[in-house]
Structure 1
């Protein structure tokens, strides 16, 4: 063999040896990691075992308590439903009371309207009757002799007398006032002038 061939053979042997060493190192590391992992799992399982028992007992206790919780929830729902039903009954009763009150008020309003209508008719009839009486009495005073009518008006209140004289024809009223005393005729004239002055001119 030449020297070159010997050097190549030595290099190949060294590379194979290095590769085998690396593979061996990986295997040792893998075995060590596996041991550590398994030991950790064993330790964890030993430490967690009591907790699993505790969890199981807790789960069992919760399962035993759950029906009570459901019964309490159902009871609360039933109580709330009962309160709602009672509240609805109260509201319905109030609505019925309000409806009855509204009906009573409507009936009272109808009676008041009828009474007001009747009162207006009565007042209207009374006013018509009074107007008829005043018209008839005015006609009587106007058809009397002026001296006789003047004597009656002399005894009347000036405002009352002015009311009759103001309804008469001007010539009849003038003849009656001519038969009065100047003082009475003046008082009645002031009343008549005051009534006419209250009439707007525009």
Structure 2
């Protein structure tokens, strides 16, 4: 602790590289009085008188020193654990270790907070990218559905024309063409034909082919209803 009655301590307190300071003006005033009396002593060379003066000031200051707030000389070397304006004593090694441990823990928590913030930003960025990708896919899906509807419409119109053509043909002529067509293409036509027009054509076809068309047509209609 700083002792205002120690001449070396008083000299040390005046140096720029220390953090010693008087917290209250009455201590500072006491030191000034000591200094003034010391100069008086230098003039009078009266040791006994000087000792009486110093003892008198010391006795008057003892009650003040108990409550005075003075800066610790090592405060600038302590870890930053908050706002410390003054302390009344030096920290013990155990206390210094505790403060250093608290400082280390605080730094770890700050680093952890930064890591969590980075991960949160990364997750949010990824989420935004996924949302953007889904929006793009939805647009493509809508465009594809439009194209499919347009294709189905054109195919329906084309099949309707074929149906009208085959219905207007003679049964034997239509039967000869049907026997050469692939089954999947043929089904698209015959299922749209009127039964009164289709029956004579099937009767004019080879029995095996006519049976194949009939079975496929029945199964196709069952799958649609199911």
Give the shorter-chain TM-score range.
0.5 to 0.7
Going from structure 1 to structure 2, the CA distance change for 1:159 and 1:97 (only over 3 Å counts) comes to: closer
CA positional deviation for 1:99: 1.0
The equivalent position to 1:73 in structure 2, one of 98, 105, 108, is 98
CA positional deviation for 1:140: 1.7
CA positional deviation for 1:124: 2.4
1:68-121 CA distance string (max 9 Å, x none): 333333222222211111111111111111111111111112122222222222
The equivalent position to 2:173 in structure 1, one of 133, 145, 148, is 148
The answer to whether the Cα contact below 8 Å between 2:172 and 2:204 also exists between their aligned partners in 1 is: yes
More helix by share: 1
RMSD: 3.1
The equivalent position to 1:116 in structure 2, one of 141, 144, 147, is 141
Instruction: Calculate the TM-score normalised by the size of structure 1.
Output: 0.56
1:19-63 CA distance string (max 9 Å, x none): xxxxxxxxxxxxxxxxxxxxxxxxxxxxxxxxxxxxxxxxxxxxx
Give the Cα separation in 1 of the matches to 2:175 and 2:221.
22
Give the Cα separation in 2 of the matches to 1:198 and 1:99.
46
The answer to whether the Cα contact below 8 Å between 1:159 and 1:191 also exists between their aligned partners in 2 is: no
- SS of 1:184 mapped into structure 2: helix
Give the Cα separation in 1 of the matches to 2:113 and 2:212.
78
- SS of 1:168 mapped into structure 2: coil
Q: Which runs of 5+ in 1 are unaligned?
A: 1-63
Query: Which residues of 2 match residues 53-202 of structure 1 at below 5 A?
Result: 66-157=91-182, 160-195=185-220
The answer to whether the Cα contact below 8 Å between 2:175 and 2:202 also exists between their aligned partners in 1 is: yes
Give the Cα separation in 2 of the matches to 1:158 and 1:91.
63
Give the Cα separation in 1 of the matches to 2:149 and 2:185.
22
After superposing the two structures, state which structure 1 stretch, 91-100 or 76-85, moved more. 76-85
Going from structure 1 to structure 2, the CA distance change for 1:185 and 1:100 (only over 3 Å counts) comes to: closer
How many equivalent pairs are there? 139
- SS of 1:167 mapped into structure 2: coil
The answer to whether the Cα contact below 8 Å between 1:159 and 1:188 also exists between their aligned partners in 2 is: no
